[in-house]
Chain A
Amino acid sequence: MKYQPIIGLEVHVQLKTDTKIFCGCSTRFGATPNSQTCPVCLGFPGALPVLNKKVVEFAIKAGLATNCKIAKRSIFARKNYFYPDLPKGYQISQYELPICEHGHLSVTGEWGEKKIGITRIHMEEDAGKLVHSDIPGLGSNSGVDLNRACTPLLEVVSEPDIRSADEAVAYLKKLHQIVVYLGICDGNMEEGSFRCDANVSVMPVSSDKFGTRTETKNVNSFRFVKQAIEYEIERQIDLIEEGGKVVQETRLFDPDSGTTRSMRGKEDAHDYRYFPDPDLVPLVISDNWIEESRISMPELPETKLKRYQTELGLTEYDSEVLTATRELAEYFESVISEGAQAKTAANWVMGEVTRGLNESGLEITESPVTPKQLAELISLIDKGTISGKIAKTVFDIMWQKGGEPAKIVEEQGLVQVSDTGAIEKIIDEIMSGNMGQVEEYRAGKEKVFGFFVGQVMRVSKGKANPAVVNDLLLKKLKV
């Protein structure tokens, strides 16, 4: 029998605010355990949460970027359960009235273009973490570190619209790109800033009723998501084929083996006893606030991608490469705004700049060649001061040692020779030294032309203007 996988994803996006969602403590990663805490995030008796406005602003932006409807009135709710890393015994989250609903993202791939629904996006606080080893003075005991407690998260819940692991990864990458573009998440998956739970079920292709689903927790890279989903699909199909039944359960992904294992079954599922948090008033969002957020949003990758093709005349591939990250796109756009032509700028950014970054292990924001310098270099080519080939030499010098391109060209004597007299002289010398080839060309073997071009460039050390060389060679060889 053929099976159809049905997949829905829940993504936790850690927001890049300076302070926590309900108190003024820092959200910095990696500080001494429990050093970034206060009565509120420690859940002390009498302490009360106060909502961080920035979190709301970030949530609105995430909602707008994923085509959601922003709720004018939303409610925080308590999710009750006991765990040592949850200081209040409940997590403040949103339940019945989340801030964003009814959104979607489009993902393209071998399946064409596909809309994946976003059920909801809600705000919530993160829990702390347990440390089970290497705690000085604690011996074999476990420790609780509450630095992360109360860190703001968005939970983005998709509709079960995804049909393969590849679609899931494409959706995740798109969402990841958006939140990083928006500047609301650092996107660091290793540190858990962007993590995913996958709901997977399978059903016979002929059926229209979804199978029983499992939820696989905390899958922390795109590769793991693909592995976890593919494993789950296969496991569930095998189980059904063998006459077994998929049970509703929470599973944990093991990155070492690429498999999932059962964490808790349905009977152990928590009854979270959600109810509106009486310590927080309903969140009312004005149209004005939504508009302000919309205006302060950067251009999103999808819009950029289209604009690069229609306005700048770039290919789809080039546009995709250049919009992959907001920083790369911003670099590219700066080069253009400094006067360079889009296509040339694209070639340089995707070619020399990217190669330089890869070789030196740098981020685009750390590029030793600034957009302005690159634009100047390109303008030297356009003006005919240097050839494209020489420009690469100049670029290498700029990358290694720094400096302004015009100055480098001048200092190194790299100015292009366009003087016909000087080039004619070189050609004459080469022709008289290679009469055999001259005869061959004149007998119809046009391929030899390239030999002469190469010789001229060699003698001129690459400085001869290629167009002038071509013109003169043609004239002289034809005679």
Chain B
Amino acid sequence: MELFELTIKELHEKLKNRDISSVEVTKSYLERIAATDDKINAFVAVTEKEALRAAEDADKKIAAGNMDILTGIPVALKDIFLTKGIRTTCSSKMLENFIPPYNATAWEKLEKKGAILTGKLNMDEFAMGSSCETSAFGPTKNPWNLNCVPGGSSGGSAAAVAAQQTVATLGTDTGGSIRQPASLCGCIGLKPTYGRVSRYGVIAFASSLDQVGPMANSVEDCAIILGIVAGFDQKDSTSVDIPVPDYEKSLVKDMKGVKIGLPKEYFIDGLDSAVQKAMNEAIAVYKGLGAEFKEVSLPHTDYAAATYYLIATAEASSNLARYDGVRFSHRSGEAESLTEMYCKSRAEGFGEEVKRRIMLGTYALSSGYYDAYYLKAQKVRTLIMQDFIKNFENVDILLTPVTPTPAFKIGEKSNDPLQMYLSDIFTIPVNLAGTCGISVPAGLSRDGLPIGLQLIGKPFGEESIIRGAYAFEQATEWHKGRARL
């Protein structure tokens, strides 16, 4: 067995027992990245030198008996997390030369537990996309089929986990950006409740929707990582000050007495037959584990995508105003005046999808349109939230598909934004409701592409979806499947 095939706990035990060194583990991952990333393009940057130096330090700590759960374990990060002294681009030309002066809180917490950074992972530019095709540094490819997209925006993260280039990673999820790529790449991705993990130092796309979460090849690894990064952060006013439970306690194999809701709006006619089949089989597995099922309704589901694309773009139009060429962002060399500097810097620095969303959002907030678009969207958002809250009075979790179809071909939807936006229809409502969801491998399509199932929990109910995901994982073999590279 290769070192890069181990879980966090297995690596930890071996490091602790001095069976292996951190340098060996780190080298194993760096070699894996070198051997596979030409094909996948999951990495924007590999921080080899820094990683090896950190691994040597980790080995000294381990030798001194000074060890934490992640000490000496290498991980890569989505390039949306600010890493002090290490270029952070958000996969945009705009931030091509941006070297942050500080760390994102989530990364700082991992680093404090001993994690070593091996590199920064590709993504859709500014997290805007569902396929990783909008990256300024070329698309990432799905390890299961290199002609297919890995999903997005955390496409590099999902592909890196699926290709075993990293044991675990952090993604961000604004409308499905963790769960959708996890589903398309056959790994686990958890989007926590809004406010569960600090957003400080995470480049903002849509502030009221963005949330940081773990991605890995096992539910256990996700639970470990979530336990580390969750919690109140004084630097993020929207993070919530409630205690972080021990998520590993939720790793139980049975589902006795658990009530699972099946929202009828998620099992639609357009659902891919392989996806439908995977869902049916999953329901049977859960029944076997003792769960009870109930059909429920989330009546405002139809409005979720429209609502999302108004709120997210409105917030983005404002969040991305700071990239004006004055300080850290790209500045055009052609400009003769202030207005020209703004226009040309932004025209050159942003990609097409980012520009599209800035324009959409600017329009939605404009005087005369605000009430009809942004304000109305906020009202619908409240209705969507209430849909979830009401249902959680009767069921513990909801089970749905993650995406209507398995991974699509590169280029297939990139010229059809609306089709692209619809690939997130099952994940978006969770962000609008501000609650938590997890994607777990639950099948393969006829073409051998992964299919995921989504469990949705009540706000701050991460324990219930971790339990549901773990029980399913342990009862099935899907999570053991690996892309052949």
Does residue A368 face the partner (Cβ distance < 8 Å to B)?
A: no
A80 touching B318 by the CB < 8 A rule?
Answer: yes
Does residue B114 face the partner (Cβ distance < 8 Å to A)?
A: no
Find A46's partner among B104, B324, B327 (CB 8 Å cutoff). B104
Q: Most chain-B CB neighbours within 10 Å: which of A48, A50, A80, A89? A: A48
B322 touching A88 by the CB < 8 A rule?
Answer: yes
Does residue B359 face the partner (Cβ distance < 8 Å to A)?
A: no
Complex CA distance for A2 and B365, rounded to whole angstroms: 43
Does residue B199 face the partner (Cβ distance < 8 Å to A)?
A: yes
Q: A47-B200, A279-B238 are in contact. List 8 more A-B contacts (CB 8 A).
A: A45-B98, A46-B203, A47-B201, A80-B365, A88-B321, A274-B370, A275-B314, A281-B238
A271 touching B367 by the CB < 8 A rule?
Answer: yes
Interface string of B107-143 (1 = CB under 8 A from A): 0000000000000000000000000000000000000
Q: Which of A36-44, A208-216, A287-295, A434-442 contacts B (4 or more CB under 8 A)?
A: A36-44
Complex CA distance for A271 and B90, rounded to whole angstroms: 29
**Residue ID in chain A nearest B240 by CB atoms:** A281
Q: Which 5 A-B pairs have the closest CB atoms?
A: A89-B321, A278-B208, A278-B207, A273-B365, A46-B201
Interface string of B322-333 (1 = CB under 8 A from A): 101011100000
Does residue B268 face the partner (Cβ distance < 8 Å to A)?
A: no
Does residue B338 face the partner (Cβ distance < 8 Å to A)?
A: yes
Which of chain A's residues 12-66 have a Cβ closer than 8 Å to chain B?
39, 42-51
A46-B200 CB under 8 A given contacts A271-B366, A275-B374: yes
Q: Chain A's nearest CB lies how many Å from the CB of B476?
A: 38
Task: List chain B residues, Cβ under 8 A from A46.
Answer: 82, 100, 104, 199-204
**Residue ID in chain B nearest A40 by CB atoms:** B235
Complex CA distance for A89 and B345, rounded to whole angstroms: 14
A90-B200 CB under 8 A given contacts A44-B328, A275-B370, A278-B207: no
B90 touching A45 by the CB < 8 A rule?
Answer: yes
Complex CA distance for A47 and B100, rounded to whole angstroms: 11
Number of A-B residue pairs, CB cutoff 8 Å, is 96
Task: List chain B residues, Cβ under 8 A from A44.
Answer: 100-102, 328
**Residue ID in chain B nearest A80 by CB atoms:** B318
A48 touching B200 by the CB < 8 A rule?
Answer: yes
Does residue A463 face the partner (Cβ distance < 8 Å to B)?
A: no
Task: List chain A residues, Cβ under 8 A from B104.
Answer: 46
Complex CA distance for A48 and B234, rounded to whole angstroms: 10
Complex CA distance for A51 and B236, rounded to whole angstroms: 10
Interface string of A265-278 (1 = CB under 8 A from B): 00000010111001
A48 touching B322 by the CB < 8 A rule?
Answer: no
Which of chain A's residues 66-85 have a Cβ closer than 8 Å to chain B?
78, 80, 82, 84
Does residue B69 face the partner (Cβ distance < 8 Å to A)?
A: no
A39-B321 CB under 8 A given contacts A45-B82, A275-B374, A280-B237: no
**Residue ID in chain A nearest B368 by CB atoms:** A271
B324 touching A45 by the CB < 8 A rule?
Answer: no
Find A275's partner among B100, B236, B318, B324 (CB 8 Å cutoff). B318
A279-B328 CB under 8 A given contacts A45-B100, A80-B318, A84-B338: no
Which of chain B's residues 330-375 have a Cβ closer than 8 Å to chain A?
338, 342, 362, 365-367, 370, 374
Q: List 17 A-B contacts (CB under 8 A).
A: A43-B327, A45-B95, A46-B202, A48-B199, A48-B200, A48-B235, A49-B237, A50-B234, A80-B317, A80-B365, A82-B321, A84-B326, A88-B321, A89-B322, A271-B366, A275-B365, A278-B238
Task: List chain B residues, Cβ under 8 A from A301.
Answer: none
Complex CA distance for A50 and B338, rounded to whole angstroms: 31
Does residue B315 face the partner (Cβ distance < 8 Å to A)?
A: yes
Task: List chain A residues, Cβ under 8 A from B324.
Answer: 82, 84, 89
Binding site for A on B (CB under 8 A): 82, 88, 90, 95, 98, 100-102, 104, 199-204, 206-208, 234-238, 314-315, 317-318, 320-322, 324, 326-328, 338, 342, 362, 365-367, 370, 374
Q: Chain A's nearest CB lies how many Å from the CB of B480?
A: 36
Task: List chain A residues, Cβ under 8 A from B327.
Answer: 42-43, 87
Q: Chain B's nearest CB lies how many Å from the CB of A477?
A: 86
Complex CA distance for A43 and B327, rounded to whole angstroms: 10
B318 touching A78 by the CB < 8 A rule?
Answer: yes
Complex CA distance for A82 and B320, rounded to whole angstroms: 11
Task: List chain A residues, Cβ under 8 A from B326.
Answer: 84, 87, 144
Q: Chain B's nearest CB lies how many Å from the CB of A380?
A: 59
A273 touching B367 by the CB < 8 A rule?
Answer: yes
Binding site for B on A (CB under 8 A): 39, 42-51, 78, 80, 82, 84, 87-90, 144, 271, 273-275, 278-281
**Residue ID in chain B nearest A272 by CB atoms:** B367
**Residue ID in chain B nearest A78 by CB atoms:** B318
A279-B207 CB under 8 A given contacts A39-B102, A50-B235, A273-B366: yes
Complex CA distance for A64 and B7, rounded to whole angstroms: 60
B237 touching A51 by the CB < 8 A rule?
Answer: yes
Q: Most chain-A CB neighbours within 10 Å: which of B82, B101, B326? A: B326
Complex CA distance for A50 and B237, rounded to whole angstroms: 6
B374 touching A87 by the CB < 8 A rule?
Answer: no
Complex CA distance for A78 and B320, rounded to whole angstroms: 13
Q: Chain B's nearest CB lies how many Å from the CB of A63?
A: 22
Complex CA distance for A239 and B328, rounded to whole angstroms: 48
Complex CA distance for A82 and B341, rounded to whole angstroms: 11
B328 touching A45 by the CB < 8 A rule?
Answer: yes
Task: List chain A residues, Cβ under 8 A from B338.
Answer: 84
Q: Chain B's nearest CB lies how many Å from the CB of A149?
A: 12
**Residue ID in chain B nearest A281 by CB atoms:** B237
A48 touching B236 by the CB < 8 A rule?
Answer: yes
Q: Chain B's nearest CB lies how many Å from the CB of A142?
A: 9
Complex CA distance for A175 and B100, rounded to whole angstroms: 43
Q: Chain A's nearest CB lies how many Å from the CB of B410?
A: 28
Complex CA distance for A278 and B236, rounded to whole angstroms: 11
B101 touching A39 by the CB < 8 A rule?
Answer: yes
Complex CA distance for A87 and B321, rounded to whole angstroms: 9
Complex CA distance for A39 and B366, rounded to whole angstroms: 29
Task: List chain B residues, Cβ under 8 A from A89.
Answer: 318, 320-322, 324
**Residue ID in chain B nearest A42 by CB atoms:** B327
Q: Most chain-B CB neighbours within 10 Å: which of A78, A87, A144, A278? A: A278
Complex CA distance for A273 and B237, rounded to whole angstroms: 23
**Residue ID in chain A nearest B209 by CB atoms:** A278
**Residue ID in chain B nearest A142 by CB atoms:** B338
Task: List chain B residues, Cβ under 8 A from A278.
Answer: 206-208, 238, 315
Complex CA distance for A88 and B327, rounded to whole angstroms: 11
A45 touching B342 by the CB < 8 A rule?
Answer: no
Task: List chain A residues, Cβ under 8 A from B362.
Answer: 273
Complex CA distance for A87 and B328, rounded to whole angstroms: 11
Q: Chain B's nearest CB lies how many Å from the CB of A442?
A: 92
Task: List chain B residues, Cβ under 8 A from A87.
Answer: 322, 326-327
Complex CA distance for A280 and B234, rounded to whole angstroms: 12
**Residue ID in chain B nearest A84 by CB atoms:** B326
Complex CA distance for A88 and B317, rounded to whole angstroms: 11
Complex CA distance for A88 and B322, rounded to whole angstroms: 4
Find B321's partner among A48, A84, A90 (CB 8 Å cutoff). A90
A45-B238 CB under 8 A given contacts A271-B366, A273-B365: no
Q: Chain B's nearest CB lies how many Å from the CB of A218?
A: 20
**Residue ID in chain A nearest B375 by CB atoms:** A275
Task: List chain B residues, Cβ under 8 A from A281.
Answer: 237-238
A273-B200 CB under 8 A given contacts A84-B326, A278-B207, A280-B237: no
Q: Chain B's nearest CB lies how many Å from the CB of A278?
A: 4
Complex CA distance for A49 and B82, rounded to whole angstroms: 16
Complex CA distance for A49 and B102, rounded to whole angstroms: 15
Complex CA distance for A39 and B82, rounded to whole angstroms: 11
Task: List chain B residues, Cβ under 8 A from A144.
Answer: 326
Q: Chain B's nearest CB lies how many Å from the CB of A291?
A: 25
Q: Chain A's nearest CB lies how many Å from the CB of B200?
A: 5
Task: List chain A residues, Cβ under 8 A from B321.
Answer: 80, 82, 88-90
Complex CA distance for A473 and B208, rounded to whole angstroms: 92
Task: List chain B residues, Cβ under 8 A from A274.
Answer: 365, 370
Complex CA distance for A48 and B338, rounded to whole angstroms: 27
Task: List chain B residues, Cβ under 8 A from A39.
Answer: 101-102
